């Protein structure tokens, strides 16, 4: 397998940060009912590459440029009601955010789960490249693969509605002794054609020590996720603590300084648009997911990425190697 890593331009922002006036935002996120800290909560400015994740102890830190001071911070977590906080009120104190759990109804799905089921695989199985997004205080990057029952993974016996049984993602490799990826399922928004609301209201983490390439699976059969639309998104989100994020970006920065000729910016054509990306030739740090840049994949699948927790989704030139197994 060809192993070229693709680092988005977000990592280059570390060279610009010192010259920009910024405000440091610090906070803690808790479950309002249990009073326990919430890990890996998505925190950021909607539609901007300014965002992060809370750490295992619920803490978070962000550097927000002055030009965003009239905006709001969106705090969201699977299974909880989102909250918006005015940034002007947050720059002098350590903010405490108490998240309110949302009730999750599964009654309609339980009827389907009792039937004798057939199982079908949907998604992209091909891989010829790798993809990784590195960051510092910005975090919450993810890739989203559009899932449809059509060529080249068409199953004539699969009709709506159906229930998701498991999700799988292929990694190229990891240099961490252990790492986490979060699996999300999101609706296809008919207005934007981008990932919309979450269909899976639980934070499902894949914990792995696998360092060689291979498929990682998340069992979703107990969540009763009913799909009644012809398309939806399978989303894979990188989960990194503060220390790992800083270490990772330092490794890529040092490599670029010592080996500038091995860092190459390129573009790919996707539906008539040029999509930029960066090659890190012969170098890998962190956890990279497998992708396909083959014309066959880019023609038949759609994939998107976002750089931070609340960023807008952007079209990707790389098709995530991931799939879902569904039951009917």
Going by C-alpha positions, the residue among 306, 308, 250 that lies closest to residue 53 is 308
Give me the chain's average pLDDT, please.
Answer: 86
Mean pLDDT computed over 199-211:
95
Going by C-alpha positions, the residue among 259, 284, 309, 317 that lies closest to residue 10 is 309
Buried b (16+ CB within 10 A) or exposed e, 103-139: eeeeeebeeeeeeeeeebebbbbbbbbbbbbbbbbbb
Strand partners, 147: 232
pLDDT at 219: 97
Query: pLDDT of 24-35, one tens digit each?
Result: 899 999 999 999
* 91 Cβ contact list (under 8 Å, min separation 6): 23, 24, 25, 69
CB 54 within 8 A of CB 40: yes
Name the pTM for this structure: 0.89
Residue 266: pLDDT above 90?
no
pLDDT at 85: 94
User: Predicted confidence band at 207 (pLDDT cuts at 50, 70, 90)?
Assistant: very high
Q: Rg of the chain over CA atoms, in angstroms?
A: 20
d(CA 90, CA 23): 9
Side-chain-side CA neighbours of 304 within 13 Å: the count stands at 20
pLDDT at 20: 59
d(CA 8, CA 319): 15
d(CA 144, CA 235): 4
In this structure, what token pair is assigned to residue 270?
Answer: 């996707």
Domains annotated for the chain, with CATH where assigned, are: 16-99 (2.60.40.1120), 106-327 (no CATH)
Q: Is 279 exposed, middle or buried (0-12, 13-18, 19+ CB in 10 A)?
A: middle
User: Predicted confidence band at 104 (pLDDT cuts at 50, 70, 90)?
Assistant: low
d(CA 77, CA 201): 9
pLDDT at 137: 55
d(CA 139, CA 308): 5
Mean pLDDT computed over 205-223:
96
Cis omega (within 30 of 0) for bond into 152: yes
Query: How would DSSP label each residue in 142-188?
Result: EEEEEEES-TTS--TT--SSEEEEEEEEEEEEESSSSEEEEEEEEEE
Q: 209 vs 49, which has greater pLDDT? A: 209
**Percent of the chain scoring above 90 in pLDDT:** 64
């Amino acid at each position: 397998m060809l192993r070229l890593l693709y680092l988005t331009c977000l990592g280059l922002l570390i060279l610009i940060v010192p010259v920009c006036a910024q405000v440091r935002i610090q906070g803690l996120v808790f479950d309002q009912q249990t009073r326990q800290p919430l890990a890996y909560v998505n925190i950021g400015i909607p539609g901007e590459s300014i965002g992060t994740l809370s750490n295992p102890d619920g803490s978070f830190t962000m550097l927000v440029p002055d030009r965003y001071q009239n905006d709001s911070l969106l705090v969201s977590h699977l299974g909880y009601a989102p909250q918006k906080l005015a940034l002007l009120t947050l720059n002098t104190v350590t903010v405490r955010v108490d998240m309110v759990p949302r009730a999750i109804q599964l009654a309609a799905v339980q009827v389907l789960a009792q039937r004798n089921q057939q199982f079908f695989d949907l998604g992209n199985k091909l891989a010829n490249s790798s993809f990784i997004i590195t960051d510092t205080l910005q975090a919450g990057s993810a890739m989203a693969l559009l899932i449809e029952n059509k060529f080249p993974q068409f199953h004539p016996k699969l009709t709506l509605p159906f229930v998701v049984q498991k999700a799988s993602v292929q990694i190229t490799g990891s240099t961490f002794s252990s790492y986490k990826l979060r699996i999300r399922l999101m609706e296809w928004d008919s207005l934007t054609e981008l990932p919309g609301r979450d269909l899976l209201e639980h934070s499902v983490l894949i914990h792995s020590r696998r360092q060689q390439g291979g498929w990682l699976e998340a069992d979703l059969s107990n969540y009763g996720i009913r799909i009644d639309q012809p398309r939806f998104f399978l989303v894979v989100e990188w989960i990194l603590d503060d220390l790992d994020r800083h270490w990772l970006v330092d490794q890529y920065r040092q490599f670029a300084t010592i080996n500038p000729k091995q860092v190459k910016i390129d573009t790919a054509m996707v539906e008539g648009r040029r999509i930029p990306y960066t090659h890190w030739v012969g170098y890998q740090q962190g956890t990279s997911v497998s992708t396909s840049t083959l014309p066959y994949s880019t023609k038949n699948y759609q994939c998107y990425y976002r750089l931070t927790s609340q960023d807008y989704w952007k079209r990707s030139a790389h098709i995530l190697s991931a799939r879902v197994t569904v039951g009917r």
